[in-house]
Structure 1
Amino acid sequence: MWHTVLFFVVLSSHSVLGQVSYSIPEEMAKGSTVGNIAQDLGLDLKRLKSGKARIFSGDSTEYIELNKEKGMLLIKEKIDREALCAKTTPCALHLQMILENPMELYTVTVEITDINDNAPTFQNKEMRFEISESAVTGARFVLEKAVDADVGTNGLQSYSLHPTDHFDLAVHNHADRRKNVEMVLKRPLDREKQERISLMLTAIDGGEPVLSGTVKIHVNILDANDNAPVFNQKLYKASLTENSAKGSKLTTVSASDPDEGSNGQVTYYISNTEDGVKDVFIINQFTGEVSLNGQIDYEKMNNYILDIEARDQGGLSDSCKIVIDVLDINDNSPFINILSMSSSISEDSPPGTVVAMLKVNDPDSFANGRVQCSISEHIPFAILSPSNNIFSLRTEQELDRERESEYNITVLCSDEGVPSLSSSASLRLFISDVNDNAPVFERRSYEAFVLENNTPGLSIFTVKASDADSNQNARVSYILDDSAVNGVPVSSYVSVSADNGVISAVRAFDYEQLKYFHFRVKAQDGGSPPLGSNVTVRIKIQDQNDNAPQVLYPVQTGGSVVAEIVPRSADVGYLVTKVVAVDVDSGQNAWLSYKLQKATDRALFEVGPQNGEIRTVRQVTDKDAVKQKLTVVVEDNGQPSRSAVVNINVAVADSFPEVVSEFSDFTLSKEYNDNLTFYLVLALAAVSFLFITTVVVIISVKIYRWRQSRIFYQASLPVIPYYPPGYADTGVTGTLPHMYNYDVCMTTNSRKSDCKYSTLGAQSSGCEGSNAVVPSSRYQKRERFE
């Protein structure tokens, strides 16, 4: 009877793996029941149908089938245990039953038990011996051994020989469970009495019922062959490397027989009848040379024992053994099995940290199976072998993720064979980050420029810092360092974006008040604890043309008429006056140019575009009007430019009364101060008294002027040339030429100013009641008219 053993294991909520085992005898008829698998696994028959249950076997032979209607396992093909497993025990079929929707897998093991269905058999139907009548008592004759395909108690158990008048049966059990059967002569033979003897050798197994096999033994009694062959040695040893070529010679056995003629002629046989020895080795029956006839593999079998029989023509024989050792060659590469491996490791891991464990097997032997493993050089790792065939990969140096964030490590394992065989395995290891790097700015310091009068909130520029770490440790934020500019917190001037480092203006800047300032910005990462670094930022304010030129001279008043006097004897290039202006801007915004906008007579005067000097461009004639009015525009070089306008009165006359009469109709301001009124009344009261004195003075002045001009013209002095302006950047005070010195003294009311004459290069002298200094013209007299 067969039996069922059921195992049931739950692997997960979605797939169930059950295991059931059956045991059946071999040779069951087709359609026989193996077991009720549905009942044994607790499955409903509907489940078998809906799940499309099917049986799957690993090989192409299907011995078992499933009846889904009944849930039964049936014999599909008759099973021969001997054909299926030969001598292997236990013999089992390993099947899987698969269900779908949901998918389930069940393992079915069917053990095939042996029945005594094979009787012991002999390879040959008959055995023939020719034995000399001279054979001595005790002579042994090796008999063919029987073979029984069954195993265990059903296998071969014993032998019997009938009749036993002349021979006894001797069975020798060896340590390898093999039996040598010999026929032993127990009394001398007499060919004259009996020429032939027929015997029956029976091999018996231990099954129920007992089965047996027989072979007939025919003994021909020969005359006078009384010497049996004798091997030179009972044990021969030979060695052969695995994978040797077919026909390779192992050794040569030799047996001698002192008989002569055919009685002394010896032949050799391999008497092994199992383990396929005769398929692997052959012997030359005449020479005794043993050679290879098949393939040998050290890893499958490393030792063979051959039973060799030597017979003479008289039927006498002897036996010996050949022990063949198979020598290993290096024909197997090491096999690497990764037992455990870390996919990542922190960069602050100490040296000696194990990151992987490997087991390396090489089925070869001795040096061919000894394995050494190595890794590539120039990486901070080492591979060690703490025990046989076990290797550990560990750190050897400190790691730095910023230098190398991952490693592709190739482990090369080589055996010590010649030539050496090797295998490799690739390991990928990521280095996880720790916050060991502070942010680093792209520059050591920053300098930025911003135009004054900017809009508050304007983005000036961006500071940028990078952190070699990763993720949160590399997330940089920017902080404005606490400091002050002119006693005011720097945060009231600029702000910095914590996320992107954009620096923005908090207020509008004025170049005339603040030209530059500096502060520090800190970059801090998001690690714990955070790391940071500082950088200095310099902001330079750039000037804009936001200030118009300011005219310092001539001073514009709303009252008295102030005029510059040009004598009618003035020659070409005569310096009438100089317009002096400044611009509080800087650079080209403060470069001033002068242009004559309006003039009573444009052909008479010109203004120096760079120095503001007003000169005559032709000889003054008597036809020129006494009263000349000029309008000069002063422009800076900004974009767009700004300008100022100055009006200049010029009197072309040689006498003071002429000037007074011509300028009497100038419109004066209606607002006169008390001092001006006082002087006017005083002048009117004294006009009679001073009339004669005035006439004398005018005549004296005219004579003096005439003499001075004659001296000037007769001195052959060159006309004052036009010098290109020389400029010097005076900051917010504008640009003035350096090649002229002017000395003019004025009070707060220019109409009361007294003038002191100065020559080119002369030192300026002080003036009474003067509060401001402005330029005056060379060879020019400035007078006040009321």
Structure 2
Amino acid sequence: MGVICCVGGKNTFSWWPLLLCICVAEIALGQVRYSLPEEMATGSVVGNIIQDLGLDIKRLKSGRARIFTEDGSEYIGLNADKGTLVVAKRIDREELCKQVSPCSLHFQIIIENPMELHRIDVEITDINDNAPFFSKKEYDFQVIESASPGARYSLESAKDPDVAHNTLQTYKLNPTDHFKLNVVSRPDGTKYIEMVLQTSLDREKQEEHKLTLTAFDGGNPQKSGSVKINVVVLDANDNAPVFTQSVYRVTVPENASRGTVILRVSATDNDKGANNEVAYSFSKHTDSASSLFNIDPHTGEITVNDVLDYEKAKRYEIDIEATDKGGLTDTSKVLIEVTDLNDNAPVISIISLSNPIPENSAADTVIAMLNIKDLDSDKNGQIRCFISKDLPFKIKSSSTNFYSLISDDVLDRETVPEYNITITAMDEGSPPFSTNKTINLKISDVNDNPPMFTQLLSTAFITENNSPGMSIHSIKASDKDSGNNARISYFLEESQLNGLSASAYFSVNAESGEILAMRSFDYEQTKEFNIRVKAQDGGSPPLSSNVTVKILIQDQNDNPPQVLYPVQTGGSLVAEMVPRSADVGYLVTKVVAVDVDSGQNAWLSYKLQKATDRALFEVGLQNGEIRTIRQVTDKDAVKQRLTVIVEDNGQPSRSATVIVNVVVADSFPEVLSEFTDFTQDKEYNDNLTFYLVLALAVVSFLFITCLVVIISVKIYRWRREQVFYKSSGNLPVIPYYPPLYADVGGTGTLKQALSYEVYGTTDSRMSDMKCSRPFSQSTLTVDHSATRTVPRQVPESENILTEVRSSPSLFHLNP
């Protein structure tokens, strides 16, 4: 239901500040009409849309109700708290609509969530706030004395911006001795005034007449305006020019170029001679419209002098005059109608836009509201609006010149994060004009994608003996979402590893996904771990996925080789006996060693570091077998001391050293005679090492004087003599082993055969023999601070007595 209200103006009822009355009630689907007089005070109430539109205050506030006007004017405001329309600024009907009647303001009230559109029309009624006026304060006329009564003289019409009864109504001429006023109506309904001569003029009696022309409007109170008219009486030209038509009409297209002739006017004068010559001109009181046109004073051709625009002015009215040499004139009207051409493209205005929109928006969600208008008329102003069919959106017309952009399909930000929607508006003109406007619509993210790993199983490697806190591996998951929905945190899932929680071995950086070792690992104890890491995004609710990480411990060369055979003891010496008749390649003994590392770190190689005398022996690089490389000669020393280095293939490599004593002899007594020197050499070497270390200490400390060095050397010599003298009476210990032991073909180990020990003294009652168990890895202890392997002593209770073979070649002799 629409309502039209009439509000009294300040000039109508000065004793009442504001009067509202309901004048007419009409049914207007989708719109409401109000009426108010111009010049209303700012803040005056225009109407109550709460009642007229059936809304409530809460709906206005929640929907963010606002006013939209196509031209951007803000004459009417909305008081959302009271639900009323008020005057926002001064309204001057004459400035707003000029002579157009009725004068109306058209605007829309937009309410969102859901979006509504209500059209409001406010008619601005006129009040008598303008008095009639003339463009000049004084006009001059020249009238020949021979002018006959009834001669007409065109006068300027007064102007009154008001309309209806408030506009110009009557004229009054004073005095009226010789002239009277005549109001002439044209066929088109317009009026103009003429001053008509009633009685003949006599220049000799009165050369000049001063008149006053007054114009009155029909307002209450009545207003008026006047102008002075000076009439100068001329002599003898008693025929005035006469136009062939009182009104000339012409139609001009708005794209007419400058200089185009649109009309030719003509006037005739019955006089002869110079008084017959007529000059054409625009009337002095013609408005500014004459600047758009030009008239040739000789031919009467009217041409276009400037650019015409149908959208600015559809009609022009020009007063023209024909003047002869005697000063007599005739006037006429030229009415110029401008025809419309399709010279304006549609204009697209976005009045509301929701950007971005969530990717889970339902179909038919309103994204934007558009206002599209074309200043042209008829078909030239009819508009078609459309967008590309490939987009998941569509355009829907909501009312005249208003369109809605709505969603038409499922949106997925991960597939298309944003759309460039080009809206095309095309008119129906020929040729048609079109306008494009592109909206960059962004799709906001919804947490609909979990984090994803590139693979479900990841393998990492770490070398043993690592430092705690060392980075092992870094995992990375990706999330197609954005913002917090794509912010991934990593967590280690609790599980049991070797009886302990997985967090006791590893930790995961929540931000980077870096896996850190919480402790040092030993390859020889554990070779691999399997843990599970969870990646969780920051959405609500959060989504997650898992990955299994297999962590392999890599071996490090942290264990030196361990020599299993020959056994190095601190209390006795072991010697191998080689007969002088031994052939080339004779197997003397075999060095057996193992390495608890793996891979190339456990690949062992054997080499001789030092051999006494000429080279008589060699050791197998891979199997550790010590063999003769030539025949034994008389020049060869009876005792041979071989140093075998066992080295692994690690980087850097580690090694162990074993000393093998070899006796070249054919009989056991010969062995006993030579073996004494082994003990002496050993003691000598031990003392020499001690004093070498002492000498290095002396060099390191430069402050020790030469006297101390000399005394130290003498002490060293004296001590050596004393040690040699004391050791000369001791009987060395000769270890004893079976002469023939099994050769296993270079496998690097000996068979687990029994070994025999014979303890002999000068007193046969003290002699003894026993059998010890084979060497095994369980009986070895590793000293990591040294490069040699020390065997663990076997308890006496584990030895058993056995018989001695008939021809022993290896002895342990205890003094």
Please give the TM-score of this superposition, normalised by the length of structure 2: 0.56
Q: Give the match for residue 191 of structure 2.
A: 178
Note the C-alpha offset of 1:509.
1.9
Note the C-alpha offset of 1:542.
1.5
Q: Give the match for residue 550 of structure 1.
A: 562
| Compared CA separation, residues 150 and 411, structure 1 to 2 (3 A) | closer
| Compared CA separation, residues 325 and 634, structure 1 to 2 (3 A) | same
Instruction: Find 1:589's aligned residue among 587, 591, 601.
Output: 601
* SS of 1:449 mapped into structure 2: strand
Counterpart code for 1:125? F
Separation in 1, partners of 2:519, 2:327: 129
Report matched runs for 1:422-461 at 5 Å: 429-441=441-453, 445-461=457-473
Separation in 1, partners of 2:482, 2:223: 80
* SS of 1:589 mapped into structure 2: helix
Instruction: Find 1:479's aligned residue among 486, 491, 495.
Output: 491
Is the 8 Å Cα contact of residues 561 and 593 (structure 2) preserved in structure 1?
yes
Note the C-alpha offset of 1:317.
12
Note the C-alpha offset of 1:585.
0.8
Question: Relative to structure 2, which stretch is displaced further, 496-505 or 320-329?
Answer: 320-329
| Compared CA separation, residues 161 and 542, structure 1 to 2 (3 A) | closer
| Compared CA separation, residues 783 and 88, structure 1 to 2 (3 A) | same
Question: Relative to structure 2, which stretch is displaced further, 492-501 or 121-130?
Answer: 121-130
**Is 1:205 aligned with 2:215?**
yes
Is the 8 Å Cα contact of residues 132 and 159 (structure 2) preserved in structure 1?
no
Counterpart code for 1:508? S
Is the 8 Å Cα contact of residues 133 and 225 (structure 2) preserved in structure 1?
no
Instruction: Find 2:519's aligned residue among 507, 511, 516.
Output: 507
Note the C-alpha offset of 1:505.
2.1
Instruction: Find 1:462's aligned residue among 468, 471, 474.
Output: 474
Is the 8 Å Cα contact of residues 381 and 397 (structure 1) preserved in structure 2?
yes
Separation in 1, partners of 2:290, 2:461: 101
Separation in 2, partners of 1:303, 1:151: 18
Question: Relative to structure 2, which stretch is displaced further, 209-218 or 543-552?
Answer: 209-218
Q: Give the match for residue 141 of structure 2.
A: 125
Is the 8 Å Cα contact of residues 595 and 609 (structure 1) preserved in structure 2?
yes
**Is 1:345 aligned with 2:361?**
no
| Compared CA separation, residues 467 and 413, structure 1 to 2 (3 A) | same
Give the aligned length: 584
Q: Give the match for residue 386 of structure 1.
A: 398
Q: Percent identity?
A: 47
Instruction: Find 1:522's aligned residue among 534, 542, 545.
Output: 534
Question: Relative to structure 2, which stretch is displaced further, 399-408 or 544-553?
Answer: 399-408
Please give the TM-score of this superposition, normalised by the length of structure 1: 0.58
Instruction: Find 1:633's aligned residue among 602, 624, 645.
Output: 645
5+ long unaligned stretches in structure 1: 8-18, 23-83, 90-110, 133-138, 190-197, 668-704, 706-736, 753-767, 775-780
Counterpart code for 1:453? N
Note the C-alpha offset of 1:663.
6.4
Instruction: Find 2:311's aligned residue among 281, 294, 299.
Output: 299
| Compared CA separation, residues 211 and 131, structure 1 to 2 (3 A) | closer
Q: Give the match for residue 619 of structure 1.
A: 631
**Is 1:251 aligned with 2:263?**
yes
* SS of 1:472 mapped into structure 2: helix
* SS of 2:170 mapped into structure 1: strand
Note the C-alpha offset of 1:592.
1.8
Q: Give the match for residue 144 of structure 1.
A: 154
| Compared CA separation, residues 122 and 128, structure 1 to 2 (3 A) | farther
Separation in 1, partners of 2:242, 2:652: 135
Is the 8 Å Cα contact of residues 173 and 179 (structure 1) preserved in structure 2?
yes
Is the 8 Å Cα contact of residues 282 and 321 (structure 2) preserved in structure 1?
yes
Q: Give the match for residue 721 of structure 1.
A: none
Counterpart code for 1:534? N
Note the C-alpha offset of 1:307.
6.9
Note the C-alpha offset of 1:282.
5.9
Separation in 1, partners of 2:628, 2:340: 124
Note the C-alpha offset of 1:600.
5.7
**Is 1:569 aligned with 2:581?**
yes
Separation in 2, partners of 1:461, 1:113: 88
Separation in 1, partners of 2:749, 2:279: 149
Note the C-alpha offset of 1:518.
2.6
Question: Relative to structure 2, which stretch is displaced further, 450-459 or 516-525?
Answer: 450-459
- Per-residue displacement from partner, 1:131-171 (whole Å, max 9, x unpaired)? 89xxxxxx986541344467778967235699899x99753
Note the C-alpha offset of 1:443.
5.8
| Compared CA separation, residues 115 and 622, structure 1 to 2 (3 A) | closer
Separation in 1, partners of 2:468, 2:345: 76
* SS of 2:154 mapped into structure 1: coil
* SS of 2:336 mapped into structure 1: strand
- Per-residue displacement from partner, 1:362-416 (whole Å, max 9, x unpaired)? 4333455455667799876555553333344444555444566566767676666
Instruction: Find 2:170's aligned residue among 138, 145, 157.
Output: 157
Question: Relative to structure 2, which stretch is displaced further, 114-123 or 549-558?
Answer: 114-123
Separation in 2, partners of 1:529, 1:209: 80
5+ long unaligned stretches in structure 2: 1-9, 19-38, 43-94, 101-126, 201-207, 217-221, 680-739, 759-770, 778-806
- Per-residue displacement from partner, 1:69-112 (whole Å, max 9, x unpaired)? xxxxxxxxxxxxxxx99x999xxxxxxxxxxxxxxxxxxxxx99
| Compared CA separation, residues 239 and 574, structure 1 to 2 (3 A) | same
| Compared CA separation, residues 361 and 656, structure 1 to 2 (3 A) | same
Report matched runs for 1:16-165 at 5 Å: 123-128=139-144, 142-148=152-158, 157-158=170-171
| Compared CA separation, residues 295 and 448, structure 1 to 2 (3 A) | closer
Instruction: Find 2:591's aligned residue among 556, 561, 579.
Output: 579
Separation in 2, partners of 1:771, 1:387: 107
* SS of 1:508 mapped into structure 2: coil
Counterpart code for 1:157? T
Q: Give the match for residue 26 of structure 1.
A: none
Counterpart code for 1:437? N
Separation in 2, partners of 1:295, 1:632: 115
Counterpart code for 2:518? V
Q: Give the match for residue 608 of structure 1.
A: 620
Separation in 2, partners of 1:773, 1:146: 139
Counterpart code for 1:633? I
Report matched runs for 1:321-340 at 5 Å: 323-329=335-341, 332=344, 334-340=346-352
Separation in 2, partners of 1:642, 1:222: 142
| Compared CA separation, residues 773 and 281, structure 1 to 2 (3 A) | closer
Q: CA RMSD in A?
A: 5.9
Q: Give the match for residue 690 of structure 2.
A: none
- Per-residue displacement from partner, 1:629-686 (whole Å, max 9, x unpaired)? 544332323355443444445443345665577669999xxxxxxxxxxxxxxxxxxx
Q: Give the match for residue 33 of structure 1.
A: none
| Compared CA separation, residues 585 and 570, structure 1 to 2 (3 A) | same
Counterpart code for 2:375? P
Separation in 2, partners of 1:154, 1:388: 34
| Compared CA separation, residues 646 and 170, structure 1 to 2 (3 A) | closer
* SS of 1:569 mapped into structure 2: coil
* SS of 1:125 mapped into structure 2: strand
Larger Rg: 1
Is the 8 Å Cα contact of residues 520 and 535 (structure 1) preserved in structure 2?
yes
Is the 8 Å Cα contact of residues 550 and 583 (structure 1) preserved in structure 2?
yes
Separation in 2, partners of 1:270, 1:156: 29
Is the 8 Å Cα contact of residues 352 and 394 (structure 1) preserved in structure 2?
yes
Counterpart code for 1:179? Y
Note the C-alpha offset of 1:480.
1.9
Note the C-alpha offset of 1:333.
5.5
Separation in 1, partners of 2:641, 2:225: 158
**Is 1:541 aligned with 2:549?**
no
Counterpart code for 2:141? K
| Compared CA separation, residues 426 and 516, structure 1 to 2 (3 A) | same
Separation in 2, partners of 1:318, 1:547: 131
